[in-house]
Structure 1
């Protein structure tokens, strides 16, 4: 019934030059509609409530239906909207056994809503260049509502998400902060919807390995959710999962494991054992066991997650593809190449069918399969897949996205392993340039790239160039992660091994002693 309602309205409400924007919420019961109408009249966002509560297909667009001319609508809708002024909420309308609320938009809000929804759709489709321009236009429209209006927060957050997806973390950070400031003033510091925006900024800090800053924001989000919903709500499980992922990224699996388990228990209790969120939580915990090489336990959890996905979403859903990919990666780790190949090919087929052959997820799947072939010394097949993945990333994400950098390194390592140093060197250089530009000259990922390049020169006997790169990486790690971080110890050992090749044993020994002292802590 809801689908018919949405199709009927969308057909009638094809954009026209003259008309007004219209939003709609559809719910199952009159009591729900009455509650939502009262909440909107008290100042809550129609857009937000539509996304969270409406059972109509328009929910994903905040209830936006488009632009209409009143005379073109069905009579029951004309009656509900008659005399209604922009911004006001219609009486409850019963349609095919369900209950609808409508809101007329001003011309200014119609322009903003249309621009913002177009930007959001471009983002979801991976059209980031188009999305950026549409989001900037939406911000300009939203700024007319005032510097603290929540609609401005929506558009700023959209632009931040586009930059984040492009790997432009420097541009994304101030926008996420601005979004947070707008919503804190609009909603108050303890509003439950603020938690998701705290998570966004925390996730950015996590990618930049600013772990202390990320932890503080995740903890604040957790406190808001626990206070609002209680300790056993599924939203609280989101916070536990986020914190667990942070601790795992830091290498603190002992802190991560109980949080993963607590999140899983909450999801199972609040949502049921077969809910997709349970499957996602199982995948997270399985990844932790995979890190520890507890393959039997990881396999059990991955298989359970896959079964949930296939049952609830269907065997061709992209989320099922992610679960299949996890299981394939586990078999790859165990050198079960035949089973890994079969599953990686299934993942590739799912993504190509569901998302299209040029989606970034297809690129990621191609790389997984290429790595499998590379480990079996099938270099020709691996090269073809790496190149295809690189082309997809460059087209879909732009030539300076971090995924492009990673793909360049993959291809460079393939050439290096075959002794094709001339082909590998420019790829390493381009990857380093991208990483330094997108993440900054002090980011740990740049350190990792410098070490790859140092090993490249070491393998050719160019020890002087390798030493320079190693020491630059060491300086980055010491400043970004602290002088006692495990990566610092690893790098010290790498420099020491190089110095011994150069006959500088006394210097090497000092490096080794320092690395041992870090490991002993």
Structure 2
């Protein structure tokens, strides 16, 4: 018969509360006391102290009750959570996989703890940038929790939200948008805790930025900032996280001075003692804003600091580290150091292709910058293939009216025109112009967005067509 510590969930990532253990085991009270103390320490942000207690409890449970007891898998899972919370993702992955094996040995493939392990193992893979491996685990977690608690249950929504995060990081922004909206609607309908709603708004806003819908992102992110400020205070790192994203949405609409002020406020909340990944994201965003303000001299330091933080925490091959590498190369290029930018960009493209695949939209920026670098180094024959590759990726992964796709076309057309290949440049630039006209018409339906954007779209359309015309007539 089943014996031991039966646990029930309190949070998404391994904060649990034990209920009385069976007396059939040799010494379940000792195990239960260790679990309770370990969970208390973990809840206080002291996972290093929690780890030995939870590890011993898991080992004792296996010795006393056997590998087919649910307690063996459940407590191994708690131990894995304490290891992951210390940033030891590869080690945590091994323990989570052992917990999953033990839970499957119970003969209950639909057990709720299996869904929780699937979710947390996926998070550990995401920590390592292995998004494609995380996706099927989250799909399993969604299926298990939906069967137990329905499509709007707490754990179903946690797994669905994490699934959307993976879709976003795989460049599948439209699919992620639908899932984030489903989670938001369910949480708002249930009157969920404001911090949970803020997290969903935060994620939705970040994804809307990737979909080139900055005005919508701003609305969502302002709500997220307000909710987090009210619940956690202005100096909390989570508030800083939302504020950093809001600054990005404001910058994307051309309000760079306001964005800079917001980003600096976010960095006060995301101080040196906060999560290095979150601080690095804010530093990188500040660097980008400073570049937009033509202050490249000030932009280098935050970009370099962001790269150092991510390299130490995530390693050189993690997708977020590669993004930071590209940002440093961008600053170098703008500061007239193309010879320093080239090896960084070439390495980032190679590593990102190996990790994310050849059609991920995250490759477009480094390809564009590498093409510009080749131009600066007077190696223009090597530039055109990179511009063409960026267009191919945009066509494969982005909506037709996405500004990044339009920009990729305009870049390729301009490069062809600059190389006196007007016959090849004209159709590319005309396609960019047609897409810009469509984009401006969409803006006209939204009066506020139209006022901000239509003049810029039409100017760029005239610029691209004029460039092709100038080259084709030899002027």
- TM-score, normalization by structure 2: 0.67
Q: Using the TM superposition, give the Cα deviation of residue 369 of structure 1 relative to its aligned residue in structure 2, in angstroms.
A: 2.3
Q: Which segments of 5 or more consecutive residues in structure 1 lack a partner in the other structure?
A: 1-20, 40-45, 71-76, 89-102, 505-521
Q: Using the TM superposition, give the Cα deviation of residue 370 of structure 1 relative to its aligned residue in structure 2, in angstroms.
A: 1.9
Distance across 1 between alignment mates of 2:247 and 2:135: 31
User: Any residues of structure 2 matched to 1:332-411 within 5 Å, and which?
Assistant: 332-357=291-316, 359-393=318-352, 402-411=361-370
1:276–1:60 Cα change, 3 Å: farther
Q: Which segments of 5 or more consecutive residues in structure 2 lack a partner in the other structure?
A: 22-34, 444-452
Is 2:270 aligned against 1:309? yes
Q: Using the TM superposition, give the Cα deviation of residue 423 of structure 1 relative to its aligned residue in structure 2, in angstroms.
A: 1.5
Is 2:262 aligned against 1:272? no
Structure 2 counterpart of 1:220: 182
Choose from 72, 85, 96 the match for 1:104. Answer: 72
User: Any residues of structure 2 matched to 1:95-494 within 5 Å, and which?
Assistant: 103-105=71-73, 148-150=110-112, 153=115, 179-203=141-165, 207-210=171-174, 214-228=176-190, 230=192, 233-249=194-210, 252-310=213-271, 312-313=273-274, 317-357=276-316, 359-393=318-352, 402-431=361-390, 439=397, 449-470=408-429, 484-485=441-442
1:443–1:202 Cα change, 3 Å: farther
Deviations 1:242-300 (A, max 9, x none): 34345545555554434323322221222233221011122122223323443443233
SS of structure 1 residue aligned to 2:19? helix
Distance across 1 between alignment mates of 2:80 and 2:190: 29
Distance across 1 between alignment mates of 2:353 and 2:327: 18
Number of residues of Structure 1 aligned to a counterpart in Structure 2:
428
1:426–1:396 Cα change, 3 Å: same
Q: Is the 8 A contact 1:86 1:104 kept in 2?
A: yes
Distance across 2 between alignment mates of 1:407 and 1:60: 42
Distance across 1 between alignment mates of 2:382 and 2:431: 24
1:502–1:145 Cα change, 3 Å: farther
1:234–1:376 Cα change, 3 Å: same
Distance across 2 between alignment mates of 1:296 and 1:173: 39
Structure 2 counterpart of 1:509: none
Deviations 1:329-369 (A, max 9, x none): 22222222322223333333333444445554443333222
Q: Using the TM superposition, give the Cα deviation of residue 176 of structure 1 relative to its aligned residue in structure 2, in angstroms.
A: 5.5
Deviations 1:282-322 (A, max 9, x none): 212222332344344323322222122226528xx343233
Distance across 1 between alignment mates of 2:372 and 2:257: 30
Distance across 2 between alignment mates of 1:398 and 1:160: 20
1:288–1:459 Cα change, 3 Å: same
1:396–1:452 Cα change, 3 Å: same
Structure 2 counterpart of 1:65: 55
Q: Is the 8 A contact 1:387 1:411 kept in 2?
A: yes
Structure 2 counterpart of 1:18: none
Distance across 1 between alignment mates of 2:359 and 2:185: 37
SS of structure 1 residue aligned to 2:307? helix
1:209–1:464 Cα change, 3 Å: farther
Deviations 1:164-213 (A, max 9, x none): 987988x9878765653432112212212222333345456664453xx6
1:221–1:24 Cα change, 3 Å: closer
1:22–1:450 Cα change, 3 Å: farther
User: Any residues of structure 2 matched to 1:41-52 within 5 Å, and which?
Assistant: none
SS of structure 2 residue aligned to 1:104? helix
Choose from 37, 61, 70 the match for 2:19. Answer: 37
Q: Using the TM superposition, give the Cα deviation of residue 38 of structure 1 relative to its aligned residue in structure 2, in angstroms.
A: 7.5
SS of structure 2 residue aligned to 1:189? coil
Distance across 1 between alignment mates of 2:184 and 2:9: 30
Q: Is the 8 A contact 1:454 1:470 kept in 2?
A: yes
Distance across 1 between alignment mates of 2:435 and 2:39: 47
Distance across 1 between alignment mates of 2:149 and 2:406: 41
Q: Is the 8 A contact 2:360 2:393 kept in 1?
A: yes
Distance across 2 between alignment mates of 1:156 and 1:311: 32
- TM-score, normalization by structure 1: 0.62
Q: Using the TM superposition, give the Cα deviation of residue 467 of structure 1 relative to its aligned residue in structure 2, in angstroms.
A: 4.0
Distance across 1 between alignment mates of 2:89 and 2:391: 24
Distance across 2 between alignment mates of 1:224 and 1:345: 41
Question: More displaced, 481-490 or 370-379?
Answer: 481-490
- RMSD over aligned CA atoms reads 5.5
Deviations 1:37-69 (A, max 9, x none): 279xxxxxx9xx9799755638999x9738976
